[in-house]
Amino acid sequence: MNLNGKICVITGGASGIGLEIARVFAEAGGIVAIADLNSDGAQEAARNLGDEHLGIAMDVTDEATVQRGVEQVIAAHGRVDVLVSNAGIQMVKRVEEFSYDEWRKVVSIHLDGAFLTSRAVLPGMYQRGSGTILYMGSVHSQEASALKAPYVSAKHALMGLARTIAKEGGPKGVRTNVICPGFVKTPLVEKQIPEQARDLGISEQEVVSKVMLGETVDNEFTTVDDIARTALFLASFPTNALTGQSIVVSHGWRMD
């Protein structure tokens, strides 16, 4: 699989899953723009990949900075071929314990960020007659877990956005799909282990073995490399045969 010089914007790309996608895309011949709220981290990550790659500051919930970031990529490289909407956060508590501000923050980063970045890149993709948009969903795009109401709601909504753009963009050569990881052992997930143990009244080991990995076929976490390789497959896929789909990467936790 080769990206052959495709210009790839990856949000939340300064760490975790996004950083691994950036690394794999660069190895596969992509030119990567790492967009992150952490501007210094984005620029350092881009420098580590090589001179042609960019690090840009982007708050995916802010319309102006999203547009400015995409325009910066276009000014440098002329286009955006691939968007990976990966930026996200997690808060773990019961529905009645969420403040409205907390609800809005989680939903906005995942869903509004996907909308704003997609809207920014679509006109150019339509003009050229080609493009790929990948959303970072979750197994929680397909099912629910306790304590994650805004996250689950936003991840479900990404499916609707992806399928709508697949319908609108298909005749114009634009594909969109949703990657749905199981539990990936990033700082985002590690933070949840003591939080869920406390709320559910079980040990941290039980959170891992029963809540997170209990439904997998091998009691293994999904890895950042698993997700990055899936993203590369989807980004390099050549036709509309694969669009509007959710690809579950979960060690068998969810089987569709």
Report the chain's C-alpha Rg in angstroms.
18
- Residue spans of the domains in the chain: they are 7-182+223-249, 185-221
pLDDT, residue 184, reads: 92
Q: What share of the chain is helix, strand, coil (3-state, %, to 5)?
A: 50, 15, 35
pLDDT at residue number 198: 86
Report DSSP letters for 46-112, one per residue: HHHH-TT-EEEE--TT-HHHHHHHHHHHHHHHS---EEEE---------GGG--HHHHHHHHIIIII
What pLDDT was estimated at residue 126?
98
All residues at 6 or more sequence positions from 110 whose CB lies less than 8 Å from its CB, including other chains = 87, 88, 89, 151, 154, 155, 158
Lowest-pLDDT choice from 3-12, 72-81, 104-113, 206-215: 206-215
Q: Are 177 and 122 in contact (CB under 8 A)?
A: no
How many CB atoms are closer than 10 A to CB 28?
A: 18
- Residue predicted with more confidence, 26 or 203: 26
pLDDT value at 188 more than 80: no
* pLDDT of 47 over the 90 cut: yes
Whether 197 contacts 154, CB under 8 Å? no
CATH of 7-182+223-249, one of 3.90.470.20, 3.50.50.60, 3.40.50.720, 1.10.287.130: 3.40.50.720
Residues β-bridged to residue 176: 133
> pLDDT grade, residue 160 (50/70/90)?
very high
Residues serving a catalytic function are 151
Predicted confidence band at 196 (pLDDT cuts at 50, 70, 90)? confident
- CA 190, CA 256: separation in Å to the nearest integer? 27
Residue 194 scores a pLDDT above 90:
no
At 202, list the tokens. 């079980």
**pTM of full prediction above 0.75:** yes
pLDDT at 171: 97
Tokens standing for 249?
């990467």
